Structure 1
Amino acid sequence: MTELKPVPHGLLQAFRAYESALMSDDVAALDALFADSPTTLRGDAAGLLVGHDQIAAFRASRGGAPGRRIVQTHVQVIDEDHALIVAVTELDRGGRGLQTQLWARDPVRIEYGGWQVTAAHVSAPAPALDTRIWRVVGDPLVSSHTSDGALSGETVAVKDLFAVAGFAVGAGSPAWLEQAPVSSSHGAAVAALLDAGASVRGIARTEEFAYSLSGLNAHYGAPPNPKAPGRIPGGSSSGSATAVALGQASIGLGSDTGGSIRVPAAYQGLYGIRTSHGAVSREGMLPLARAFDAVGWMTRSAFLLQAVGDVLLPEAASSPTSLDDVHLVPSLVALASKEVGAAVSEALPGAKPLTWEPARLDEWRQAFVVGQAYQAWQAHGAWLETRLDTLGEAVRGRFEMARSVTRTQAAEARAVLSEARAEILDVVGDRVLAFPSASSVAPTAADAAGVRDDTLRLTCIAGIAGLPAVSVPVRTPGNLPAGLCLVAAPNRDRDLLALAQTLAE
């Protein structure tokens, strides 16, 4: 019979201090109770955080853990300075979870008896409906009427901008949803996917009126980013992206005005396409800025991305396209962080460089922002005029700016954008341009505002000229997801989808 080892002195006191700090969201105490080491681990269903810095950043941004109590605790002593604690938890919202922690004692430390967590794994019962990701979900929510279509067996997360018969369009805003009428028919893109055999898994979250790139909805929270835990999901097609990245749907239907497909695809390691302006019908899609809005979708594979294109895109003359037609644009690669620039360049080692340095790019970005804002207020200003206080702070600030844009300022922006469009179309010609989909990897929520302008410098190029753009997933040297953006002339969407397939092989 093996003799049980006694629990080392101070271990349970440190464990109880951790639990108390967790329930009070005492971030400083939690940081002190986790070993300050680059090898410290914390894992849960959303992914693995490696290193004290990543774990601390996650805690600082999450806003506290769900309420719970410990119902069972088991200690397996390794030696007098190391022990494994497994605790069964009972959540206030219902259900049971499990927490496993590896504790180590540093005899030099005085605080908490020298005990710190070096590795932790948390499991909790998943909510029946994760309202950060989904507004409403089913199994399926809407079935296809055919079982032998090109997309049979596929499931769609529909961004909450598209009409789904029997449901209102919520646009990420509780106030809008409260007064929105129930849709009597499906939007055109939704109907086409159903006709091709796909089913609608559910209606996925978006940021308010799709007017953001972060994915941080002030009312429903941010969908998690399973490919970069602790970082933002990217928006505004955030719910659709997360649903696909988690495997809860195979197709994420969304829209892209200033990058709302390309950015979440890049941040979450997905394939994504913003289609040529007007190539896919926007009937039944709530607008943000009609001159720039485009339908798009995200998938986990280039094959499925192309299969959806075969359903949604109009027939078009195909131009034989190969990697020899791809031109890397060094001036645009340089606008991204070093790690993203390196990942994009390494993905196309043989690409020809294109010497194009758009000298007025900052002016183009600003004109795009002004033009988008003017149109956004034209689309929603009458309703929002007395309801701006219903919006989250960031989106409210954008609409307040939009309200202030004069006709003269809008006309000046249109003139700049017209010149920009002519230059971009001339440079693109019959080439395929390659540059980063976003300026950085997914930032934390605290850093999200700081990368917005940098990313818009890249994403506005396709938006200004109405070009198709495909984001292909790449990995940075630090093993985080990023996006390689391929851009071609209007209506060459199918060529880009074929090229993405080539890169995936």
Structure 2
Amino acid sequence: MHDPYNAFTLGGDVYIDGARQGPLAGLTFAAKDVFDVAGYVTGAGNPDWRRLAEPARQTAWAVSALLESGARLVGKTHTDELTRGIFGDNSHYGTPENPRAPGHVPGGSSSGSAVAVAGGLADMALGTDTAGSTRVPASFCGVFGLRPTLGVVPMDGVLGQSNTFDTVGLLAADPDVLARMGEVLLRKKVADQRPARAVVLEDTLEAADPEVAAVIEAALPRIAEAVAPVTRGVRISPVPLSDWIEPQNAIQGREAWETFGDWINRSNPRFGFEVADNFLRGSRVANRTLSAARGFRLRARRWVLDALEGHAVLVLPTTPVTAPPVQSPRSVMWDIRSRIISLTAIAGMAGCPQISLPLCNVNGRPVGLSLIGPRGGDSLLLAAARRIGKA
């Protein structure tokens, strides 16, 4: 396998031809190493998980759907350990190299999938998204990335961590390819539909680095031309966006511990520092804290749905920063992680679809502009991306 960017896993040389005919015939795809492929071990970014796992008996629904539509699987891609990261680094297998921002992290946990697409090693790729694991690498690597409506794409055969946040993620360098992939996985045609307006979330611009906010502002005329008239002056939240971080971390962390805690206690696996820290924090989330976080999520969902009323989409930076340099201090990365989650939690809390569009860059490094749509509005976002690609 030609892999100059370390996108694919060791033993990730999984080549499976798709059906001879279908809407994706002639296209290639990669799959994050949390998607089961019958006869192969799902490694999940951790050597102890790989060592103890049995080969999968069945292939994940999403992988099968792409194969049956004619696409060819060309490999399994790197992920942060058990998907518990957001920068794409892995202390066991190394960090995939960001083709669009050399020397900077690719974003995670669907790091290898985004890198495979950005580096031209696959036409499209499957990832997952819990707190931004598809949207963040899409932003950092300068590709299109969709987090679908929660539950709309089956997670059968996918190793998740937090069942009230986990979704399959879609990545592609070309918006038409992403739309065709979406039609297969959503089981729905992408019609050329438009929202009534595109609502700029002012508090998300304030949360971003000034240079990121500036390039998002500069891209708004393109949104107005290709998507919908732009409306200004809307704030998504009556509380600071920083207040969204703790509820997101509490629910996700506790659910991830409930998913993996027994295995961790039984197997005492080797983890990188940040992954171990995330699991420990999750194990210590008290029931009272969890209940309060879930109450916050109900309020946050209403704020988002109110902002989307009248057939709107929401406009925001995908990430508040461009990709940080590889080997940045952990204290710096922890602060950046929290700032990222303050933006990615918006769609996640509401269960809404979000698409990251590679429209902007700062000093040569990509940063995504995102659209959030109403639940079930995935096709609306894919149609918008398609029009932007043609503009």
Contact 2:7/2:116 (<8 A) preserved? no
For residues 313-462 of structure 1, the aligned pairs below 5 Å read 313-315=186-188, 320-321=193-194, 325-349=197-221, 350=224, 351-360=230-239, 361-388=241-268, 390-429=270-309, 430-445=311-326, 446=328, 447-462=332-347
Q: Name the residue aligned to 1:59.
A: none
CA distance, structure 1, for counterparts of residue 176 and residue 334 of structure 2: 34
Could you tell me which runs of 5 or more consecutive residues in structure 1 were left unpaired when the two chains were aligned: 1-125
Q: 1:217 to 1:210 in 2, by over 3 A?
A: same
CA distance, structure 2, for counterparts of residue 217 and residue 271 of structure 1: 23
User: CA RMSD of the aligned region, Å?
Assistant: 1.9
1:209 is aligned to 2:82: yes
Q: Pick from 99, 109, 118: which aligns with 1:236?
A: 109
For residues 181-330 of structure 1, the aligned pairs below 5 Å read 181-315=54-188, 320-321=193-194, 325-330=197-202
Structure with greater proportional strand content? 1
Structure number with bigger Rg: 1
Letter in 1 for 2:88: G
Instruction: Number of aligned residue pairs: give it.
Output: 377
Contact 1:280/1:294 (<8 A) preserved? yes
Q: Pick from 118, 121, 136: which aligns with 2:11?
A: 136
Q: Name the residue aligned to 2:373.
A: 488
Contact 1:133/1:242 (<8 A) preserved? no
Contact 1:189/1:312 (<8 A) preserved? yes
CA distance, structure 2, for counterparts of residue 454 and residue 130 of structure 1: 27
Please give the per-residue CA displacement for 1:21-45, whole angstroms capped at 9, x wherever unaligned.
Answer: xxxxxxxxxxxxxxxxxxxxxxxxx
Q: 1:332 to 1:169 in 2, by over 3 A?
A: same
Letter in 2 for 1:226: P
- Report SS of the residue matched to 1:134: coil
Q: Deviation of residue 314 (structure 1)?
A: 3.3
Please give the per-residue CA displacement for 1:113-150, whole angstroms capped at 9, x wherever unaligned.
Answer: xxxxxxxxxxxxx9778656333344x61111x22211
Q: Deviation of residue 286 (structure 1)?
A: 0.7
Q: 1:348 to 1:297 in 2, by over 3 A?
A: same
Letter in 1 for 2:15: L
Q: 1:459 to 1:388 in 2, by over 3 A?
A: farther
CA distance, structure 2, for counterparts of residue 369 and residue 229 of structure 1: 30
Superposition TM-score, scaled by structure 1 size: 0.72
Please give the per-residue CA displacement for 1:54-91, whole angstroms capped at 9, x wherever unaligned.
Answer: xxxxxxxxxxxxxxxxxxxxxxxxxxxxxxxxxxxxxx
Contact 1:339/1:476 (<8 A) preserved? no
- Report SS of the residue matched to 1:476: strand
CA distance, structure 1, for counterparts of residue 105 and residue 12 of structure 2: 22
Letter in 2 for 1:391: F
Q: Name the residue aligned to 2:25.
A: 152
CA distance, structure 2, for counterparts of residue 128 and residue 416 of structure 1: 44
Contact 2:192/2:383 (<8 A) preserved? no
Higher relative contact order (CA 8 A, sep 6+): 2
- What stretches of structure 1 move > 4 A for 4+ residues in a row? 126-132, 316-319, 386-389
Contact 2:6/2:95 (<8 A) preserved? no
Contact 1:256/1:295 (<8 A) preserved? yes
CA distance, structure 2, for counterparts of residue 294 and residue 314 of structure 1: 16
CA distance, structure 2, for counterparts of residue 189 and residue 427 of structure 1: 31
Q: 1:283 to 1:389 in 2, by over 3 A?
A: closer
Please give the per-residue CA displacement for 1:300-339, whole angstroms capped at 9, x wherever unaligned.
Answer: 11110101011110338968315x6212122211211122
CA distance, structure 1, for counterparts of residue 362 and residue 290 of structure 2: 42
Task: Determine what percentage of the aligned residue pairs are the same residue.
Answer: 34
- Report SS of the residue matched to 1:141: coil
Superposition TM-score, scaled by structure 2 size: 0.92
Contact 2:85/2:109 (<8 A) preserved? yes
Contact 1:136/1:204 (<8 A) preserved? no
For residues 64-143 of structure 1, the aligned pairs below 5 Å read 133-138=8-13, 141-143=15-17
Please give the per-residue CA displacement for 1:246-302, whole angstroms capped at 9, x wherever unaligned.
Answer: 111111100000001110001011001000000100000111100000111111111
CA distance, structure 2, for counterparts of residue 254 and residue 444 of structure 1: 23
